[in-house]
A and B are shown apart, each in its own frame.
Chain A
Amino acid sequence: MSSIDDLFARLRSEGKKAFMPFVTAADPDLEFTQSLLKALDATGCHLAELGIPYSDPIADGPVIQASYTRALNGGVKLEAIFDMVANTTPQLSMPIVTMVSYAIIYRLGLDEYLKQAKAAGVAGAIVPDMPVDESAEFAAKCRAADFSLIQLITPTTTKQRAIEIAQQTTGFIYYVSIAGITGERTELPPDLLDNLRWLRQQTDLPICVGFGISKPEHVELLKPVADGMIVGSAIVRKIACAHPAEGGKTAATVITDVSDFARTMIDAM
């Protein structure tokens, strides 16, 4: 049982849903990311996704890509990110999972990535450019290390394939609400609820929904069919304001803004 399994077991027994913010590591710097993670934890977030900046993120929209570019332009290296995470996780009650490209995992080495992530107290990984067909080797290693490998199901995934993905997933299923890149949307697609209800009958794993979620109304809509909700771009956009070029707010102001937003969303749960 990883800390993610424990989390969802507890939430289920309490009849609660998880709120899961996404933040980019080192945007604008690692000290800020550390303070923000602590603040989100204190606000009552249930799990945080930490985006590892990557130079060519094809699955991400303009907001998150710009955030990755800002972090990389600051010269951040993977080693420094893991150091920051290792110093932070002992002070958090929420688990951390990394959102990370397979390009990065492969370059470091599958075993080495797992070793460093586990040593830093990371509970799992989402690898958006590693579909289930390419995941066998890493999935086996993750299983052996009790490290959750969260896989994605999308509106374009066939039913047969969705069942296979669910069988290969540990921790929770990341259900992508929209066929497209990450980013906020006003409207969620009409068949989303039906798709989630169908998936609910196929697996006991927690199902968390991401892509395009930014408002309390979205939470209200998804609450009956999802175990958790992931918010990325809406938060990253607020973080961008900490940059001199994009608003130049102080770190403390931005952290308050993001925490207030997280609280609004948690309250809607």
Chain B
Amino acid sequence: MEVERPPEPVVGYSALLKNTTIRFKQSQSQRITVDDLVPGFQNHHPKLTHIAYAMPTSFLDQSSPDAALPDDTGRYGDFGGRYVPETLIAALDQLEEEYLAARQDPTFQSELDELLRDFVGRPSPLYFAKRLTQRCGGAQIWFKREDLNHTGAHKINSTIGQALLTLRMGKKRVIAETGAGQHGVATATACAHFGLPCIVYMGEEDIRRQSPNVQSMRTMGAEIRPVTTGSRTLRDAVNEAMRDWMGSVADTHYILGSVVGPHPFPMIVRDFQAIIGRETIEQSQTRFGRLPDAVVACVGGGSNAAGMFYPFVAETDVPLIGVEAGGHNDDRGQHASSLTFGKPGVLHGSFSYVLQDEDGQTDDVHSASAGLDYPGVGPEHSHWKKTGRVQYRSCRDDAALETFDLIARTEGILPALESSHAIATGMEVAQERGKDEIVVICLSGRGDKDAAEIQRLRGSEQF
């Protein structure tokens, strides 16, 4: 395609206009006309009036400064760090050193790639939810199908990587915490694959809510240690796993399940999960010839969202929407929306948004979904919230449960209750946008594990 005169000179942004690369200044992904890009262009091509013909592949010519985070002190802006007992510092230093070396090591990477392909089943598909799109009447809705991974959720992306790290560090034993049980199953699976002994700490309340996952873990040889302290959920399971690690650091690796905890855990888990976002970018380029117009993921601790968002944050300015658990309502103790209602503070070794009272005591939180039932959130999400790079919204139990049914009936997919939060809000996002736009939602896990609990909630009409 020819243009009469070249557009304004480049200041760091590029766009694909049919087959021609045109560079322009706008830094926002707002709707712009072809005339904005090339003044006078429309006089020559009166039918070309819409942005769809001038959609950028990326607005960023170079990586965002946020791509380089965390900094040397393990911080994402103000957030992160290592607020842990001195006993753990040496282990965290060792873990960071080993991980950074592994990240540069082609042998480690090729071993990981092979396992992700042959054992986990990657790449996971990008799926067009056609009937859901028709029903919503807005932008096209696409699902990134992490539910189709081995073990049925995104968690295995990180546990396989961390199990490889465990072997590399010469450690002989693995511990993990789990909430919904997805991370526990993924850890038990990775440990069974490598023949590593595995102990999973799980809150008593969660053991009750997620019994199918408990059975799977035991079958794969993991020992489940019920946690009876505090609220008997994920947060207490993290406390217990940290305590175990304090006394066992010499021979044990703690496979943390989310982008939370002290540095380097948030970085390691994010990096292993970032394959979700990298594949989504690649699949979008192949299928649409461009990037999506919005990307949505649910946030508890925030691992699937961090994995989906990080490559977009680093290389693009595609709008990103994180969805927290809105629980019953906005009252204290009735939800788990740390970014929406929390304040910066310290929990589980990291400085991040947290739901606390005025004395710094952690609030009890609620979500129908065990995987989102967490009073803190990863420090990088806190940074993205503070800088405005990611927009965080909240979705209540009832909307998530309705969406669970809707997706089962319109798409033939049982989404995890966690992912149902992302889909419920993703549908709103799609409705805010035009038919030629594309919204990708991270379908982080499958919902078989939730069917019985949903039945129970319905029976007692608790939601």
Chain A interface residues (CB < 8 Å from chain B): 54-59, 61-62, 65-66, 69, 72, 77-78, 101-108, 128-134, 151-158, 161, 165, 176, 178-181
Contacts and interface: CB of A to CB of B under 8 A. Distances in A.
A59 B239 contact: no
A158 B90 contact: yes
Contacts of B239: 56-58, 65
Contacts of A129: 83-85, 346, 349
B86 interface: yes
Contacts of B347: 56, 103
B249 A179 contact: yes
A105 B90 CA distance: 25
A174 B269 CA distance: 33
Interface of B: 73, 81-91, 229-230, 235, 239, 242-243, 246-247, 249-250, 343, 345-349, 351, 354, 356, 358-362
Given A103-B346, A130-B83, A59 B89 contact: no
B90 A58 contact: no
Given A56-B235, A69-B229, A133-B73, A156 B362 contact: no
Contacts of B345: 103, 106-107
B356 A131 contact: no
Contacts of B88: 156
Given A101-B346, A134-B81, A158-B90, A181 B359 contact: no
18 contacts: A54-B360, A56-B239, A58-B84, A59-B246, A61-B243, A65-B229, A103-B345, A103-B347, A103-B356, A104-B360, A107-B358, A131-B83, A152-B85, A152-B86, A154-B86, A155-B87, A179-B246, A181-B243
Contacts of A155: 87
Contacts of A107: 343, 345, 356, 358-360
B230 A69 contact: yes
Which residue, of A107, A152, A153, A154, has the highest number of chain B Cβ atoms within 10 A? A107
Contacts of B73: 133
A234 B88 CA distance: 24
B361 A55 contact: yes
A56 B81 CA distance: 18
Contacts of B348: 56, 58
Q: Which 5 A-B pairs have the closest CB atoms?
A: A180-B247, A107-B360, A104-B360, A59-B85, A103-B346
B359 A176 contact: no
A58 B358 CA distance: 20
Given A133-B89, A176-B87, 15 more contacts: A54-B361, A55-B362, A57-B239, A58-B85, A58-B239, A58-B242, A58-B246, A61-B243, A107-B345, A107-B356, A107-B360, A134-B82, A152-B86, A180-B247, A181-B246
Given A134-B82, A153-B86, A101 B360 contact: yes
Contacts of A158: 90
B244 to A, nearest CB: 9
Given A58-B348, A69-B229, A134-B81, A103 B86 contact: no
A181 B239 CA distance: 11
B346 A176 contact: no
Nearest to B231: A55
Contacts of A59: 85, 87, 246
B157 to A, nearest CB: 26
Contacts of B349: 58, 129
A179 B235 contact: no
A156 B360 contact: no
A132 B81 CA distance: 12
A165 B87 CA distance: 13
A200 to B, nearest CB: 19
B355 to A, nearest CB: 11
A131 B358 contact: no
A157 B90 CA distance: 6
A58 B229 CA distance: 12
Which residue, of B83, B84, B230, has the highest number of chain A Cβ atoms within 10 A? B83
A128 B85 contact: yes
A7 B89 CA distance: 31
Contacts of A176: 86-87
Contacts of A161: 89
A237 B362 CA distance: 25
